[in-house]
C-alpha cells in the first residue's frame, strides 16, 4: 500500500509540475503577442507621412514611439525568462535506501535530526541537494557546519545556497546545498573622494547569485550627495534586475530606458557590469558610458571597451555584451573615469594598462590600492574627481578533498 501511495504521489507531483509548466508557457506566449502588438504600433507610427507641426508635439510623438519599443523589448525579455524557467530540465532523485539511512544516522550522531534527502541534477550536471533538518534542543548549529558534514558523508564538496538561514535549531527547515564551483574568487575596492566633497559620487557592489559574482560600478554625474544618490540607485536596481534572473545586457538596457524616460536633464550616470560564472570561468561585460575593463593574465593585459552612451542617453538602444573566458589566477579590473582624468596622455587607458602589466601583485587588495595610488600620483596628489578601483580575481578550487 505504501508503494502505491508513493507512486501516486510521484504521479501527482509530475502532473502538477507539467501543469505549472504549461501555465508559464501560456503566459510567455501572451507576453510575446503583446510585444508584437507594441512593435507593430511603433512601426505604424514611424511610417506616418505627416509629422506634428510643433516641436512639443513632435517630441511627444517620439517619446511614445520609444516607450512602445521599450515595452515590446521588455515583454520579449520577460517571455524569454519565463520560457527558460518552464523548460528548465532538472532530474529530482530521492536518495532513499541504505545510503540515506547511513547519512541520517551519522547526522543524528552530531545532533542533527534529518530526513528526506533529495538530489536535483540541473543543466550541465550541476548538483543540488535538499534535506529537512533540525537540531536537538541543546544544540545550535550553522548551515555551513551541516554542509561540511554532508560533504564528508556524500563524498562531494557542498556549499550552502543563499536561501538558507544562517543557523538552525529545534524547528525543522528545508536546507539547500549546491556543488562547490570550480573557481573561488577574491574581490577588493579602493576609493578616493573628490576634494571638498563629503561623499563619493561613485557607487559599487560585488553581487553574488547562483554561482556567479558580478562587479557593479556606477559613476553619478557631477559629485557629492546628488551624484551618490543617482549612482547608488542605479547599483541597487541593477542588483534587483540581475537577482530576478535577467542578464547583464538586459539590466543595462532597462536602466538606460528608465533614466531616458525621466524628464530631468543631466541624469547621465554610467553603468559598468562584469559577471563571472564561477562554474565555467566565463566573464560577461556590459557597459553604458563606462571606461574600459582591464583583464590581467600574468604580464598580459587586455582592454575591453564599449562605445555605448551613458544611461540617461541610452533610451531605445540595446547595449552589446563582451564575453571572455577567464583562467586560474586572472584579475578583472574596473575603474571609474576619475582614475583616468589626470593621465598625461590622450589615451589614458594605455598608460593605465601598461601600469597594470608591470604589477607583480597576486592579491586584488594590493592591485586596487596600488592603482589608486598611481592615479593620485599622476595628478600630483590632487583629487579632482571621485576615483574607484574594483578588482576581482579567480582561482581554481583545490582538488576534491576526498581524492
- Give the mean model confidence (pLDDT) for residues 221-240: 89
- pLDDT reported for residue 52: 54
Phi then psi for residue 187, to 5 deg, are -125, 160
By three-state DSSP, how is residue 159 classified?
Answer: strand
pLDDT value at position 136?
A: 87
Quick one: 183-396 is in which CATH superfamily? PPM-type phosphatase domain (3.60.40.10)
Tell me the CA distances in angstroms from 307 to 224, 291, 316, 352, one per residue in order. 26, 9, 15, 19
Whether the pLDDT of residue 307 is over 90: the answer is no
**Distance, CA of 331 to CA of 211 (rounded, Å):** 18
Q: Determine which of 108-112, 144-148, 315-319 has the lowest per-residue pLDDT on average.
A: 315-319
Query: What average pLDDT does the chain have?
Result: 82
Q: Where are the domains of the chain?
A: 2-86, 91-179, 183-396
d(CA 291, CA 288): 9
Most confident option among 167-176, 186-195, 303-312: 186-195
pLDDT on residue 310: 76
How far is 223 from 199, CA to CA, in rounded Å? Answer: 8
In the prediction, which pLDDT does 17 show? 60
When pLDDT is averaged across residues 253-260 and rounded to a whole number, the result is: 76
- Quick check: 330 pLDDT over 50? yes
Q: Is the pLDDT of residue 56 over 70?
A: yes
Q: What average pLDDT does this structure show over 20-27? A: 72
Q: What is the pLDDT of residue 400?
A: 42
Mean pLDDT across the stretch 313-328?
78
Name which of 210, 206, 121, 105 is nearest 159 in CA terms: 210
- b/e sequence 151-187, b meaning 16+ C-beta within 10 Å: bebbebbbebbeebeeebeeeeeebbbbbbbebebeb
Looking at residue 13, its pLDDT comes to 45
> What integer pLDDT is reported at residue 38 of this predicted model?
65
Q: What angle do CA 73, 75, 81 make, to 5 degrees?
A: 105
Torsion of CA 81, 83, 87, 90, to 10 degrees: 20
pLDDT tens for 153-181 read 988 889 998 888 999 989 999 999 988 99
Q: Report the C-alpha dihedral over residues 313, 51, 46, 41, rounded to 10 degrees.
A: 100
8 Å CB contact between 75 and 34: yes
Q: What is the pLDDT of residue 341?
A: 87
pLDDT band for 260, please (50, 70, 90 cuts): low
Amino acid at each position: 500500500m505504501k508503494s502505491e501511495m508513493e507512486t501516486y504521489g510521484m504521479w501527482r507531483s509530475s502532473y502538477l509540475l507539467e501543469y505549472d509548466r504549461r501555465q508559464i508557457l501560456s503566459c510567455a506566449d501572451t507576453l510575446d503577442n503583446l510585444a508584437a502588438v507594441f512593435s507593430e504600433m511603433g512601426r505604424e507610427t514611424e511610417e506616418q507621412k505627416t509629422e506634428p507641426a510643433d516641436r512639443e508635439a513632435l517630441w511627444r510623438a517620439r517619446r511614445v514611439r520609444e516607450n512602445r519599443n521599450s515595452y515590446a523589448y521588455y515583454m520579449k525579455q520577460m517571455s524569454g525568462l519565463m520560457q527558460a524557467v518552464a523548460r528548465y530540465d532538472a532530474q529530482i532523485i530521492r536518495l532513499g535506501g541504505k545510503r540515506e539511512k547511513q547519512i541520517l544516522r551519522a547526522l543524528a550522531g552530531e545532533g542533527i535530526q534529518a530526513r528526506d534527502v533529495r538530489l536535483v541534477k540541473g543543466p550541465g550536471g550541476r548538483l543540488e541537494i535538499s534535506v529537512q533538518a533540525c537540531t536537538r534542543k541543546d544544540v545550535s548549529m550553522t548551515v555551513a557546519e551541516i554542509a561540511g558534514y554532508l560533504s564528508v558523508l556524500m563524498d562531494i564538496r557542498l556549499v550552502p545556497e543563499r536561501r538558507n538561514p544562517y543557523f538552525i535549531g529545534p524547528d525543522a527547515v528545508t536546507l539547500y546545498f549546491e556543488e562547490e564551483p570550480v573557481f573561488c574568487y577574491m574581490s577588493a575596492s579602493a576609493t578616493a573622494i573628490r576634494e571638498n566633497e563629503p561623499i563619493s559620487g561613485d557607487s559599487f557592489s560585488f553581487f553574488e547569485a547562483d554561482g556567479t559574482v558580478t562587479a557593479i560600478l556606477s559613476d553619478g554625474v557631477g559629485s557629492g550627495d546628488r551624484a551618490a544618490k543617482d549612482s547608488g540607485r542605479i547599483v541597487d536596481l541593477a542588483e534587483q534586475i540581475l537577482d530576478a534572473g535577467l542578464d547583464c545586457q538586459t539590466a543595462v538596457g532597462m536602466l538606460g530606458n528608465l533614466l531616458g524616460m525621466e524628464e530631468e536633464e543631466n541624469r547621465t550616470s554610467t553603468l559598468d557590469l562584469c559577471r563571472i560564472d564561477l562554474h565555467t570561468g566565463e566573464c560577461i561585460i556590459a557597459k553604458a558610458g563606462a571606461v574600459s575593463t582591464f583583464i590581467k593574465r600574468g604580464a598580459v593585459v587586455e582592454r575591453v571597451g564599449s562605445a555605448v552612451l551613458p544611461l540617461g542617453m541610452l533610451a531605445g538602444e540595446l547595449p552589446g555584451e563582451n564575453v571572455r573566458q577567464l583562467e586560474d589566477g586572472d584579475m578583472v579590473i574596473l575603474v571609474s573615469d576619475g582614475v583616468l582624468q589626470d593621465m598625461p596622455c590622450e589615451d589614458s587607458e594605455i598608460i593605465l594598462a601598461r601600469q597594470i602589466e608591470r604589477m607583480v601583485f597576486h592579491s586584488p587588495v594590493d592591485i586596487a590600492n596600488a592603482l589608486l595610488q598611481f592615479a593620485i600620483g599622476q595628478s600630483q596628489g590632487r583629487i579632482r574627481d571621485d576615483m574607484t578601483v574594483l578588482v576581482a580575481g579567480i582561482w581554481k578550487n583545490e582538488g576534491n578533498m576526498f581524492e
